[in-house]
A = this chain, B = another copy of it.
């Protein structure tokens, strides 16, 4: 890692990062709370238990997808703020808006999982994801600009971090469209997010390596 990684963010920024981490961590861990725990009668056999678990399959998938999504948002937050050094009050509002959307994820996940295949819950979930993605793109753009960004932050890393943020937006948009056509497949569309990120990152890397090579 580069030199600029060794100096941490200033205290006021560090506390904001810390607070954000706590919200991310709570939201990601609360995801399982909404999965109802199956309570079968004592005499229930293996097949009954497997049936009860199978019935909750949408909840398990919903948990995994939302875990991956929140992890992706944390990832972007971690990368973007890793390039920031200075604090200014202007970062608070956009950061809180992102956190508000993240805090709403457990509800949206449970709503979609409990009503698997229904249009409205799936559309709501994908819409929330799209909004969160846009709030995320805006926040990342902000903290990788003056006065927040480290003066020694490599230009190519800033470009990559900003572009990557669009991956979730694109995936959520595809999911949103699919939720109107075939809701049961919408979550699968979110699986394209890593692909989008890879494509976006690739589009900037060649140009970037030339710059850093120059």
Could you list which residues of chain A lie within 8 angstroms of chain B, going by C-beta atoms? Answer: 1, 5-12, 14-19, 21-35, 37-40, 42, 44, 46, 49-50, 53, 63-64, 67, 71, 74-75, 78-79, 81-82, 86-89, 92, 96, 99-100, 103-104, 106-107, 110-111, 114-115, 117-121, 124
Contact = CB atoms under 8 A, between A and B. Distances in A.
A26 B24 contact: no
A6 B107 CA distance: 39
Contacts of A24: 19
Given A11-B5, A49-B121, A92-B75, A103 B32 contact: yes
A78 B114 contact: no
Q: State the 6 A-B residue pairs at the shortest beta-carbon distance, nearest first.
A: A22-B25, A49-B120, A8-B11, A26-B29, A37-B110, A32-B107
User: Copy number in this complex?
Assistant: 4
B37 A114 contact: yes
B115 A11 contact: no
Contacts of A67: 96, 100, 103
A195 to B, nearest CB: 16
A64 B22 contact: no
